[in-house]
Structure 1
Amino acid sequence: MCCNYLIMILSFSSQTRKIMWNSMTDATSPALSRTYATPCATLTEAPSVENPAASDMLVDKFGRMHNYLRISLTERCNLRCQYCMPDEGVELTPSPQLLSQDEIIRLASIFVGAGVDKIRLTGGEPTIRKDIDDICLRLSSLMGLKKLAITTNGLTLAKRLPRLKECGLNLVNISLDTLVPAKFEFMTRRKGHERVMDSIDAAIQLGYNPVKVNCVIMRGINDDEICDFVELTREKPINVRFIEFMPFDGNVWNVKKLVPYAEMMDRVLQKYRGVRRLKDHPTDTAKNFMVDGHLGTISFITSMTEHFCSGCNRLRLLADGNFKVCLFGPSEVSLRDPLRSGVDDSGMREIIGCAVKRKKAAHAGMFDLAKTTNRPMIHIGG
């Protein structure tokens, strides 16, 4: 793909965001096969899209096809989780600089037209956005989109979920890092544990199966609850996902707080017999297991100790219209600015494709990431 547009890369220094203009011309890019960069995984069929040529915009120089788009609907949140937001809070982008509903739908339609078949809505907290019902309804109507998901803290989900399901939301992830109400208040700096538990039950009752429960494990804070969460899967058809603590701007990451996957797994095996590994999809970010006799399952997301960059199929559209090709990479491309400048869909595909082609083979590793200035997690949405 030859990219003739100048696009804005936002590189974050420790003090300010420096804006650099880079020419993205690359007329010598080799032809790319649609092969996931993992030893055992080949995508045998090209995505079914209206314009097959457009799908090249989603293939990077390592042959990874990106069919999964995460869209942050807002930077606002009704919790203040320690691993997500610094103590002093974050500076919010002025509302006029955030993507409107129409802009979200137009960009989503470009991605879906090129082969994206899964979209996840994130935040901040996505249920805070007043027009989320309409956004879900319009996204679920896009031809070619197979899965519409949400990651939410669950505080207001129980009352909103019936309507969201009617609007096409078919996958639910709920963040919950502790089963102890007092500890929940400490970790999130807010009350609301019971409401989150109610949302998990509401999602189960509405037929979401599995309901995924995301749990960030931090040593000395909630690592003593790993088996308690496993026990939760005995009677509930949920998938508890244990996530290694990751470094982001403002969350005071320290390797001493990291509980590696191997250690978490050892704790589970010490208590439970009949723990079986489940088959993974090549683009899975999680290692999946079932405990004999349990309705639910458990998973481990090992971003730090055993990264899964080689099979990465994810892209991120932030609430302010910036585009990230890597969760941990500081570089971003503005899609809002060319969109508002009148660039047509063909031009937008070229800008997106250039950014995807620049994606690196892997992130820098946890120790280098800890020294790299990135956005706070609340601005990215995971």
Structure 2
Amino acid sequence: MWRYFSKFIHSPISRFNPSKSNSIPVNFEMGSYCATRICNLQTLFKGKSSGYSTVTSCDSFSEEKPKDNSVSDMLVDSFGRLHTYLRISLTERCNLRCQYCMPAEGVELTPTPKVLTKIEILRLADLFVSSGVNKIRLTGGEPTVRKDIEDICYELSSLKGLKTLSMTTNGIVLARKLPKLKECGLDSLNISLDTLVPAKFELMTRRKGHEKVMDSINAAVDLGYNPVKVNCVVMRGFNDDEICDFVELTREKPINIRFIEFMPFDGNVWNVKKLVPYSEMLDTVAKRYPSLKRNQDHPTDTAKNFMIDGHKGQVSFITSMTEHFCAGCNRLRLLADGNLKVCLFGPSEVSLRDPLRNGAEDHELREIIGAAVKRKKPSHAGMFDIAKTANRPMIHIGG
């Protein structure tokens, strides 16, 4: 999983003191249930349109794009990419302190009044879904620390036109919340786990909890999630010796291990010593499992997917560093403070919270979103340039 890029990036670099840690901060990707619906989405949201049947492949966009362009064009950039996948960051808060995400003392968070409320999240999500988005992923920070997470899942899963509601989580409190989340419509899961060794887990996250994450993975399997995606950021000298141990998790259970390239950015200096490139990870797996073979991936997939004979699960690689996947990008991101990012790696953002709170109608919000999408570049800049100029976290890239 690409956990959220350490918030120290938004602040002066001096906030993070490398002398206090051996780690390299990187740009990763990382309530009570109400049985009665809190509100009727058909009447709560202004200007609601019916759902649209859309395609996620930019290769076939010209043949299959929705007929009502006045709405769906909001999601199409100037290169013909149709954005049907929205990631929503529910919070900047997290119950871990991963060394590659943030300093031990934490980071300065957006004040609560500036974070989107549940009603604001639902209004914006409804606007996106009615315009053609068919997949939403809930992220953070850590989304399960938000007290109204069950209510949000319940309302989002009720949106007409939404096909998939997903979540990326660190799994610390997931096991006890997952049965209710599944009832509330959560369709799929990505659970982060960078090591199978409890002592390493505690060293990396500065917290105990390895057993809780394993319990969450097993709970997801038992509840019928298939596959259960497990995101593992591979770092040389830390967990690169565990690659095949992770692959073994796919033998007997429907687990999809997703190995993610580490982004080796420390302050304003590249440090590639911890980067294990996709080609090396693939070679490691292929030597141990000669039956490894490539799947036919969807054009919008961020992962390169593989099967191993006799294994119930599969193995994937997310190659953000060595082979970007911009050409098939269909993703947008709504941050916890209401800013929209059209490129997960890019620094530019536009606020939807401010016009929303100033009384903007749906058509006005669509114009703001459409203009931002049209400004999306064909590919993101070099990671070094992005890291230097970014003014906030880049959150959950893989997934």
Normalising by the smaller structure, the TM-score range is 0.7 to 0.9
Amino acid at match of 2:126: S
Q: Offset of 1:35 from its aligned partner?
A: 8.9
The corresponding residue for 2:155 is 138
Which deviations, in whole Å up to 9, do the C-alpha atoms of 1:159-180 show, x marking residues without a partner?
Answer: 0011001111011110000000
2:291 and 2:74 mapped to 1: Cα distance?
A: 44
- Classify 1:335/1:203 alpha carbon distance in 2 versus 1 (closer, same or farther; 3 Å): same
8 Å CA contact retained: 1:86, 1:251: no
Instruction: Report the Cα offset of residue 52 of structure 1.
Output: 4.5
Partner of 1:180: 197
Letter of the 1:320 counterpart: D
> Which ranges in structure 2 are unaligned for 5 or more consecutive residues?
1-8, 14-54
Per the alignment, do residues 13 and 153 of structure 1 end up closer, same or farther by CA in structure 2, a change over 3 Å counting? Answer: closer
Summarize the Cα distance change of 1:374–1:263 in structure 2 as closer, same or farther, 3 Å threshold: farther
Structure 2 vs 1, CA of residues 35 and 68 (structure 1 numbering), >3 Å: closer, same or farther? closer
Higher helix fraction (1 or 2): 2
Identity percentage of aligned residues: 74
- CA distance, structure 1, for counterparts of residue 290 and residue 196 of structure 2: 23
1:272 aligns to 2:272 (yes or no): no
Shift in Å, 1:43: 6.2
1:270 CA drift (Å): 1.4
Which of 296, 314, 319 is the matching residue for 2:313?
Answer: 296
Cα deviations across residues 301-330 of structure 1 (Å, max 9, x unaligned)?
001100000100000000010111111111
Tell me the TM-score normalized by structure 2. Answer: 0.83
Aligned in 2, Cα 1:108/1:250: closer, same or farther, shift over 3 Å?
Answer: farther
Residue type at the aligned position of 2:96: L
Which runs of no fewer than 5 residues in structure 1 stay unpaired? Answer: 1-11, 17-33
Asked if 2 retains the 8 angstrom alpha-carbon contact of 1:176 and 1:196, the reply is yes
The CA distance in 2 between the partners of 1:280 and 1:371, in whole Å, is 33
Letter in 1 for 2:196: L
Shift of 1:365: 2.4
Q: Pick the aligned partner of 1:322 from 339, 342, 345.
A: 339
Paired with 1:146 and 1:239, the residues of 2 have a C-alpha distance of 21
Following superposition, the deviation at residue 87 of structure 1 comes to 4.2
The equivalent residue for 1:5 is none
1:149 aligns to what SS in structure 2? Answer: strand
Deviation at 1:272, TM superposition (A): 1.0
Conserved 8 A contact 2:307-2:315: yes
Q: Distance in 2 between matches of 1:80 and 1:136?
A: 26
Equivalent in the alignment of 1:153:
170
**Which of 220, 228, 242 is the matching residue for 1:225?**
242
CA distance in 2, matches of 1:90, 1:332: 21
Alignment correspondent of 1:66: 83
**Does the alignment pair 1:308 with 2:325?**
yes
User: 2-side partners of 1:356 and 1:222: how far apart?
Assistant: 38
Query: Which one-letter code corresponds to 2:65 in the other structure?
Result: A
Tell me whether 1:90 sits opposite 2:117 in the alignment.
no
How much does 1:47 deviate? 4.4
Counterpart of 2:116 in structure 1 is 99
Find the counterpart in structure 2 of residue 348 from structure 1: 365
In the aligned structure 1, how far is the partner of 2:162 from the partner of 2:124?
Answer: 13
Instruction: Tell me, yes or no, if the aligned pair for 1:249 and 1:376 is still in contact at 8 Å.
Output: no
Aligned length: 349
Partner residue of 1:27? Answer: none
Q: What corresponds to 1:114 in structure 2?
A: 131
Q: Post-superposition shift, 1:248? A: 6.7
Indicate whether 1:287 and 2:309 are aligned.
Answer: no
Report if aligned partners of 1:212, 1:241 keep a CA contact under 8 Å in 2. Answer: yes
Aligned to 1:123: 140
- Residue 187 of structure 1 and its aligned partner are, at CA, apart by 1.1
Residue 74 and residue 249 in structure 1: after superposition, are their counterparts in 2 closer, same or farther (change >3 A)? farther
Shift of 1:13: 7.7
Give CA deviations for 1:105-145 in whole Å, capped at 9, x if unaligned.
00001100110000000010000001011101110110000
Query: Aligned partner of 2:354: which letter?
Result: D
Look up the match of 1:215. 232
- Secondary structure of the residue aligned to 2:201 is helix
Deviation at 1:201, TM superposition (A): 0.3
Give the match's secondary structure for 2:248: helix
Determine whether 1:190 maps to 2:207.
yes
Aligned to 1:46, which of 55, 59, 65? 65
Matched, 1:77 2:97: no
Instruction: Please report how far the alpha carbon of residue 253 of structure 1 lies from its aligned counterpart in structure 2 after TM superposition.
Output: 6.0
Contact 2:56 2:84 in 1 (8 A): no
**AA at the equivalent of 2:142:** E
Cα separation, 1, equivalents of 2:359 and 2:260: 41
Q: Deviations over 1:325-371 (max 9, x none)?
A: 11111111110000000110000000000111111111112343343
Q: CA deviation at 1:84?
A: 2.3
C-alpha distance in 2 between matches for 1:250 and 1:101 = 35
* Whole-Å separation in 1 of the counterparts to 2:98 and 2:156: 29
2:251–2:312 CA contact under 8 A, matched in 1: yes
Distance 1:127 1:359, change over 3 A: same
For 2:64, give the aligned amino acid.
Answer: E
1:230–1:298 CA contact under 8 A, matched in 2: yes
CA contact (8 A) 1:36 1:310 kept: no
TM-fit CA distance, 1:82 = 2.3
TM-score w.r.t. the length of structure 1 is 0.87
Secondary structure at the counterpart of residue 141 of structure 2:
coil
Call closer, same or farther: CA 1:262–1:236 in 2, change over 3 Å. Answer: same
